[in-house]
């Protein structure tokens, strides 16, 4: 079952096991979150214990948040006890497990490992649906049936003992790198984002976006893009971003004349870009930093220009669509005053934690330390706001105490951490099979062979595989699996690892708006009540030029801030012009509809500007300049007859 509209698994207290009092479940969820703060933030326990409790707790809380029907609750109870026992064993026997290369007690560990694996699969089913379970089954089946598979994809096969050991005790499962990143970094960022959300960050972002973009043509669409970009900095999930900002922006767009499908598409595309938006980006960015063994700051800095190109292209597309459909700015009486939009306490509660996080990362403190400080600052400011709200509404019988507000925020954090934990644990299993069976090496050889050392063809193949994986998985899992499969062949083709992994991550993000799955589009349609296929069509049209951005920074690493200042400036300007020109070509409107032949010529000019090199840039600029001059002068000779 997918997360609810808030990006969490159920609302607080509405679905826990009926024999398991809601307050006890709330207490366990809060305690689990505080454990992450103590273990990952303050380093009070070892990494193996942290990973074990992280995964075990994620499974147990998922089972509690989404229980079986009443008749089958006893199965829930048994499975929860089994996972708790398996987790406790990992904690108690942590030192012995770390020193061993195989089972220390064969039958107990084999049974506990099998029970924990069963608990994980059931947790994945409830959090992510049967599709993800089927994906795990395909990979496990491939691992077992390797000797019976003919041809290139055949392998020696893995025994039951090897699979269980690898998952339960080895470095490819519970103690694997992906689960470690989820427990030590991603969990902290999810806590940080939830506390900011609970403090009203969404409303603050929307108010600021209204002030910035509301007065432009198609202002409601501009607000959706700007607000989603802001929210993406602390959210990092396309679906959750749609849910949190879309409930505000989509109704606003509908009121001001946007069609249901266009409003949903704008929100879906804008929310998808949030996963690529520094300074926080999505969970996949932290996976990338750890997999490459580099600082997260390096990832965030290199993503700065590509993410800026993404949103500039999207803003231009929305502005052109607004002109094409006669959509007006937001009325002045609907735009908040400067005093409301930039209220001191609200801005302080937003900017101080984010500023502390960014400042500490720039100062080269560890990511864990930086986000822990940001959490503490955000929590302190959140409590101050909650106390002020409570004092103002003390006579109201529905007023919520500051303690309860903070507990709710931590409970929401637990739900988000459990959900993402299921995603990353499932990805860890798939990556383990890829590594243990040699599938990654096989696929790497196929990609390089098909590409025949042709970079463009290999990049197109890589894009296709990354989007295909992203259609069936949330972004962190899609990136993790794609990185294991696609990273090595791109390295063999001579690409640097960071640009190559950014390329993979970018398309894993864009899978959220790519049919047929398009999870962000489905989430937007749930709010707009639009049709999925037309909304997805609008989303593709809005983002068509954005699909070229990864090719820009792979072919010209200057866009990743590598090179001299003049070279970077020139690359940024020509890339922006290329994206803008291609957007004009795809939308087909400027001051009036652009004739078909002119659109084709503009598309060719845009591609010329995108190809690295000053000669192609000059050719593209010249062609685009001539066409634009003819269009603006109204004397175009490229117009279609009649």
The distance from CA 519 to its chain's CA centroid, rounded to whole angstroms, is: 11
Q: Clarify whether residues 472 and 558 are in a common domain.
A: yes
C-alpha to C-alpha distances, 129 to 96, 136, 642, nearest whole angstrom: 36, 12, 54
C-beta of residue 594 within 8 angstroms of C-beta of residue 602: yes
Digit-coded pLDDT (tens) for 68-83: 888 888 999 999 999 9
Q: Clarify whether residues 215 and 181 are in a common domain.
A: no
**R_g (Cα) of the chain, nearest Å:** 25
pLDDT value of position 452: 63
- Flag the least confident range among 233-237, 555-559, 614-618: 233-237
- SS3 state at 589: strand
| Averaged pLDDT for residues 592-604 | 89
C-beta of residue 477 within 8 angstroms of C-beta of residue 128: no
* Number of domains making up the chain: 3
What does the alpha-carbon distance between residue 300 and residue 298 come to, in Å, rounded to a whole number?
6
Range list of H helices, 182-279: 187-198, 201-213, 219-232, 238-255, 260-273
Q: Which two tokens stand for residue 109?
A: 């560990």
What does the alpha-carbon distance between residue 416 and residue 196 come to, in Å, rounded to a whole number?
14
Domain boundary among 528, 546, 562: 562
Q: Give me the sign of the Cα torsion angle 123, 128, 129, 134.
A: negative
Confidence of residue 398 (pLDDT cuts 50, 70, 90): low
Confidence of residue 552 (pLDDT cuts 50, 70, 90): confident
Q: Which two tokens stand for residue 407?
A: 């507990």
User: Averaging pLDDT over each range in 275-284, 396-405, 468-477, 526-535, which range is the top one?
Assistant: 526-535
Average pLDDT of every residue of the chain: 85
Q: Clarify whether residues 244 and 350 are in a common domain.
A: no
* 107 exposure class (CB count in 10 Å sphere: 0-12, 13-18, 19+): exposed
What does the alpha-carbon distance between residue 594 and residue 197 come to, in Å, rounded to a whole number?
42
Q: Clarify whether residues 206 and 331 are in a common domain.
A: yes
| Averaged pLDDT for residues 185-211 | 86
Residue 395 reports pLDDT greater than 80: no
Domain boundary among 517, 533, 562: 562
Question: Which residues form the domain of 586?
Answer: 564-642
pLDDT value of position 19: 47
**DSSP classification of residue 397:** T
pLDDT value of position 573: 87
C-beta of residue 282 within 8 angstroms of C-beta of residue 185: no
Q: Clarify whether residues 360 and 308 are in a common domain.
A: no
Strand partners, 589: 593
Q: Clarify whether residues 110 and 175 are in a common domain.
A: yes
Q: Clarify whether residues 13 and 128 are in a common domain.
A: yes
Residue 53 reports pLDDT greater than 90: yes
pLDDT value of position 48: 93
The distance from CA 290 to its chain's CA centroid, rounded to whole angstroms, is: 16
* 472 exposure class (CB count in 10 Å sphere: 0-12, 13-18, 19+): middle
Residue 480 reports pLDDT greater than 90: no
Q: Clarify whether residues 52 and 192 are in a common domain.
A: yes
| Averaged pLDDT for residues 500-514 | 90
Q: At what angle do helices 238-255 and 519-528 cross, to 10 degrees?
A: 30
What does the alpha-carbon distance between residue 268 and residue 539 come to, in Å, rounded to a whole number?
7
Confidence of residue 636 (pLDDT cuts 50, 70, 90): very low
Output the furthest CA–CA distance in the chain (Å, rounded). Answer: 84
pTM of the full structure: 0.81
Q: Clarify whether residues 456 and 326 are in a common domain.
A: yes
Confidence of residue 1 (pLDDT cuts 50, 70, 90): very low
Q: Which two tokens stand for residue 400?
A: 């919520």
Q: Clarify whether residues 52 and 97 are in a common domain.
A: yes
| Averaged pLDDT for residues 75-99 | 94
Q: Give me the count of residues in the chain.
A: 642
3-state helix, strand, coil in the chain (%, to 5): 75, 0, 25
* 501 exposure class (CB count in 10 Å sphere: 0-12, 13-18, 19+): buried
What does the alpha-carbon distance between residue 44 and residue 344 come to, in Å, rounded to a whole number?
36
Q: Clarify whether residues 357 and 324 are in a common domain.
A: no
Structure-model confidence comparison of residues 418 and 205, the more confident one: 418
Q: Which of 133, 71, 337, 550 is nearest to 559 (CA)?
A: 550
Q: Give the helix/strand (H/E) hosting 483.
A: helix 475-492
Residue 601 reports pLDDT greater than 70: yes
Residue 635 reports pLDDT greater than 70: no
Digit-coded pLDDT (tens) for 326-355: 888 999 888 999 998 898 888 888 889 988
pLDDT value of position 100: 87
What does the alpha-carbon distance between residue 364 and residue 294 come to, in Å, rounded to a whole number?
12
- Flag the least confident range among 104-108, 227-231, 636-640: 636-640
- Tell me the DSSP string of 528-579: H---HHHHHHHHHHHHTGGGGHHHHHHH-GGGGT-S-HHHHHHHHHHHHHHH
Q: Which two tokens stand for residue 571?
A: 């690359």
Digit-coded pLDDT (tens) for 120-176: 999 999 988 888 899 899 999 999 999 999 888 899 999 999 999 999 999 888 988
Q: Which two tokens stand for residue 180?
A: 């470690």
| Averaged pLDDT for residues 387-398 | 72
Residue 382 reports pLDDT greater than 50: yes
- SS3 state at 188: helix
What does the alpha-carbon distance between residue 234 and residue 257 come to, in Å, rounded to a whole number?
30
Q: Clarify whether residues 579 and 556 are in a common domain.
A: no
Digit-coded pLDDT (tens) for 267-283: 999 988 888 888 778 77
Confidence of residue 440 (pLDDT cuts 50, 70, 90): confident
pLDDT value of position 59: 97
Residue matched to tokens 């951005």 = 549
- SS3 state at 368: helix
Domain boundary among 409, 432, 455: 432
Q: How many CA atoms lie within 13 A of 473 on its CB side?
A: 32
pLDDT value of position 281: 80
Q: Which of 287, 274, 273, 277 is nearest to 487 (CA)?
A: 287
In percent, the amount of the chain with pLDDT more than 90 equals 32
pLDDT value of position 641: 42
Residue matched to tokens 């999207």 = 314
pLDDT value of position 6: 37
């Amino acid at each position: 079952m997918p997360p609810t509209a808030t990006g969490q698994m159920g609302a607080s207290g509405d679905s826990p096991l009926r024999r398991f009092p809601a307050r006890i479940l709330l207490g366990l969820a809060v305690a689990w979150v505080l454990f992450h703060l103590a273990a990952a933030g303050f380093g009070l326990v070892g990494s193996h214990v942290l990973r074990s409790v992280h995964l075990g707790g994620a499974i147990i809380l998922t089972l509690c948040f989404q229980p079986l029907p009443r008749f089958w609750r006893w199965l829930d109870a048994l499975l929860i006890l089994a996972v708790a026992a398996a987790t406790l064993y990992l904690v108690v026997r942590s030192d012995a497990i770390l020193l061993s290369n195989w089972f220390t007690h064969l039958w107990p560990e084999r049974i506990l490992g099998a029970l924990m694996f069963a608990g994980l699969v059931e947790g994945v089913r409830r959090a992510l649906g049967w599709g993800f379970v089927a994906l795990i089954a395909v990979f496990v089946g491939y691992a077992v049936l390797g000797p019976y598979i003919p041809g290139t994809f055949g392998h020696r096969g893995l025994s039951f003992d090897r699979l269980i050991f690898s998952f339960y005790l080895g470095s490819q499962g519970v103690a694997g790198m992906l689960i470690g990143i989820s427990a030590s970094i991603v969990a902290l960022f999810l806590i940080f984002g939830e506390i900011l959300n609970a403090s009203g960050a969404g409303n603050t972002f929307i108010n600021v976006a209204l002030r910035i973009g509301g007065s432009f043509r198609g202002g409601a669409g501009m607000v959706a893009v700007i607000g989603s970009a802001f929210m993406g900095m602390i959210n990092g999930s396309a679906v959750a971003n749609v849910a949190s900002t879309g409930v505000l922006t989509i109704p606003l767009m509908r009121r001001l004349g946007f069609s249901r499908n266009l409003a949903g598409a704008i929100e879906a595309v804008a929310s998808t870009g949030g996963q690529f938006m520094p300074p926080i980006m999505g969970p996949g960015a932290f996976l990338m930093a750890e997999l490459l063994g580099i600082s997260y700051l390096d990832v965030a800095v290199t993503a700065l220009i590509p993410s800026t190109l993404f949103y500039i292209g999207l803003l231009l597309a929305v502005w052109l669509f607004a002109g094409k459909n006669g959509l007006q700015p937001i009325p002045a009486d609907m735009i908040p005053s400067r005093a409301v939009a930039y209220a001191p306490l609200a801005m302080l509660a937003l900017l101080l934690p984010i500023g502390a996080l960014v400042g500490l990362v720039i100062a080269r403190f560890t990511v864990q330390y930086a986000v822990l400080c940001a959490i503490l600052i955000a929590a302190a400011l959140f409590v101050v706001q909650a106390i002020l709200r409570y004092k103002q509404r003390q006579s109201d019988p529905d007023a919520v105490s500051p303690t309860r507000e903070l507990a709710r925020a931590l409970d929401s954090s637990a739900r988000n951490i459990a959900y993402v934990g299921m995603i990353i644990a499932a990805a860890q299993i798939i990556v383990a099979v890829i590594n243990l069976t040699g599938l990654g090496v096989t696929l790497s050889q196929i990609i390089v062979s098909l590409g025949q050392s042709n970079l463009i063809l290999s990049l197109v193949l890589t894009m296709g595989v990354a989007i295909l994986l992203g259609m069936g998985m949330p972004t962190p899992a899609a990136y993790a699996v794609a990185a294991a499969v696609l990273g090595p062949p791109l390295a063999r083709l001579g690409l640097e690892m960071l640009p190559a992994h950014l390329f993979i991550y970018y398309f894993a993000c864009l899978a959220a708006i790519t049919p047929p799955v398009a999870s962000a589009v489905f989430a937007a349609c749930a709010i707009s009540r639009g049709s999925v296929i037309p909304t997805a069509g609008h989303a593709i049209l809005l983002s068509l030029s954005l699909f070229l951005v990864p090719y820009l920074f792979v072919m010209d690493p200057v866009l990743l801030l590598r090179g001299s200042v003049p070279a970077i400036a020139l690359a940024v300007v020509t890339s922006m012009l290329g994206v803008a020109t291609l957007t004009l070509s795809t939308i087909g409107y400027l001051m009036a509809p652009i004739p078909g032949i002119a659109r084709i010529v503009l598309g060719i000019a845009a591609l010329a500007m995108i190809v690295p090199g000053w000669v192609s840039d000059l050719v593209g600029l010249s062609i685009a300049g001539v066409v634009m001059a003819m269009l603006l002068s109204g004397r175009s000779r490229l117009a279609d007859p009649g």
